[in-house]
Amino acid sequence: MKKITWLLPLVVTTVLVSAQKKSDRKTLTNLQQHISYLSSDKLEGRLTGAPGEKLAAEYIQSQMQQIGLVPKGTDGFLQTFSVKEGREPAANCSFELNHRPLTAGTQYIPLPFTATKAAKGEVLPQANEPDNIWLINVAELDSTKFTSRRELYKRETAEAAKAGATGVIFFNGTESLPEINSWLETNETAASIPAVWVSKEISKILDDENANSFLIQLNVALKPVKRTGTNVIGYVDNKAARTVIIGAHYDHLGYGEDNNGLTKGKVLYHGANDNASGIAALLELARQIKASKLKNTNFLFVAFSGNEQSLSGSKYLTANSPIDLSQANYMLNLDMIGRLNTTHGLQIAGMGTSPSWTKLLENTNKETKVVYEASGVGNSDHTSFYRKQIPVLFFFTGMEDYHQPEDSADKINYEGTLTVMKVVFELIEKTDTIEKLAFTATPEPTTAAIK
């Protein structure tokens, strides 16, 4: 009898450890499956509004169905939103500089008030002549009298047209490509002449003091464009008074069409860490929570699109929420959690958004280096919920291969991703039986520090 009493705890412990290892192995297998598919060539980088994004949404929806989540979109699990509605260069839009064709969207961009017409000429540097194309050095303009750079360009275009210019090219502008492209989402009254902005690369050519002249041929043509993104939303309804929101974005950069990749030219951005890793963890957390004994909280799982387009998916969801956000306890954001290592460890931002976070996270996995940050504001989707005065936490594991095509599934630390999941699940367990967390505002960073 003594032997049985003595051995029973050992047997129970062995069974529990074995079961835990089996559960972990299953989770690791699922993480690899999710990340490998979402970052595969088939999905073409999951650009918001592109066919690859739709395939990713279908996959996430099917996984949520298998888990048994309740659909919470406007069309089953899906919630669509407008990402961009405006204009973009048409197929026949062209710009030749010394007989060299330039690429619209990267080397030059038509301005929103441009005339859609052609212009050509042999243009002399530093000599803006009537009946010819003008080159305007933006670095020499006084922008202090204008509320925006766009207004400055608009004024200069109008004055050039009035002086007889047949077209205008602005060089040495400090704006980024995405910023200039975003201007085409605005409606502007067209000028009488074509007006384009050129990149730093082309600006260097036009700013060459030793150049004798430039042969320029322009044909500005625009077409209407509308891009639609899709959030995927599932729910665990425990009929509770409060809800925890767990989110991750699944969109990425596609082939770099929006010019926010860090490699020149058309290349496939796989986005394994950014952010197939977060989506994989979200799906596995949903699976675990659905099967758990956590019954005092409802759970909203959201796979956001439009993260790479100024957080448009999470902004839309918080403005059109499928639940009453006043009942939201807090929001957890999983973004780039697949590169855990001993150098930078796990970073958790948003610690200042509730006085409860410090106590709840004080015993976080002691074998993992954890770096905390107070601010609830950053370049990821938790910011949209912070703006609604909801406590947030942002889980993140570093910037390796950020916005690079080398961000592939073979570089993911799957054991590390599982470790992050365990930290998140333990936190959720701790909050299941306590009161609703209080919200506190945090200082606004001068720049978005993360992501």
- From first to last of the 451 residues of the chain, give the pLDDT tens digit: 334 444 444 444 444 445 568 899 999 999 999 999 999 999 999 999 999 999 999 999 999 999 999 999 999 999 999 987 889 999 999 999 999 999 999 999 999 999 999 999 999 988 899 999 999 999 999 988 888 999 999 999 999 999 999 999 999 999 998 899 889 988 899 999 999 999 999 999 999 988 999 999 999 999 998 889 999 999 999 999 999 999 999 999 999 988 888 888 889 999 999 999 999 999 999 999 999 999 999 999 999 999 998 999 999 999 999 999 999 999 999 999 999 998 889 999 999 999 999 999 988 777 789 999 999 999 999 999 999 999 999 999 999 999 999 999 999 999 999 999 999 999 999 999 999 999 999 988 754 433 3
Q: What amino acid occupies position 257?
A: E
Per-residue model confidence (pLDDT) at position 450 = 38
**What are the tens digits of pLDDT across the range 221-233?**
999 988 899 999 9
Asked if residues 63 and 30 have their Cβ atoms less than 8 Å apart, the reply is no
Per-residue model confidence (pLDDT) at position 18 = 56
What is the torsional sign of CA 431, 434, 439, 440? negative
313 membership: H or E segment, kind and range = helix 312-319
User: Cα–Cα distances in Å, from 295 out to 242, 290, 292, 428, 432?
Assistant: 11, 9, 8, 11, 8
Per-residue model confidence (pLDDT) at position 20 = 65
CATH code that applies to domain 29-86+227-431:
3.40.630.10
Cα–Cα distance measured from residue 71 to residue 25, given in angstroms and rounded to the nearest whole number: 28
* 16 token code pair: 């529990």
For the chain, where do the domains classified as CATH 3.40.630.10 start and end? 29-86+227-431
* 385 token code pair: 């919920």
Cα atoms in the Cβ-side hemisphere of radius 13 Å centred on 3: 0
**What are the tens digits of pLDDT across the range 325-361?**
999 999 999 999 999 998 889 999 999 999 999 999 9
Percent of the chain whose predicted confidence (pLDDT) is above 70? 94
For the chain, where do the domains classified as CATH 3.50.30.30 start and end? 92-220
Taking the CB of residue 374, how many other CB atoms lie within 10 A of it?
Answer: 14
Asked if residues 271 and 39 have their Cβ atoms less than 8 Å apart, the reply is yes
Which phi and psi angles does 214 have, rounded to 5°?
-125, 130
Burial 26-62 (b: 16+ CB within 10 A, else e): ebeebbeebbbbbbbeebbbbbbbbebbbbbbebbbe
Per-residue model confidence (pLDDT) at position 321 = 98
Taking the CB of residue 163, how many other CB atoms lie within 10 A of it?
Answer: 11
* 429 token code pair: 């367990």
At 218, is the secondary structure helix, strand, or coil?
strand
Considering just the CA atoms, what is the radius of gyration of the chain in Å? 26
Considering the domain delimited by 92-220, tell me its CATH architecture: 3-Layer(bba) Sandwich (3.50)
* 156 token code pair: 């200069």
Cα–Cα distance measured from residue 93 to residue 104, given in angstroms and rounded to the nearest whole number: 7
Per-residue model confidence (pLDDT) at position 367 = 78
pTM exceeds 0.85, yes or no = no
Cα–Cα distance measured from residue 312 to residue 309, given in angstroms and rounded to the nearest whole number: 6
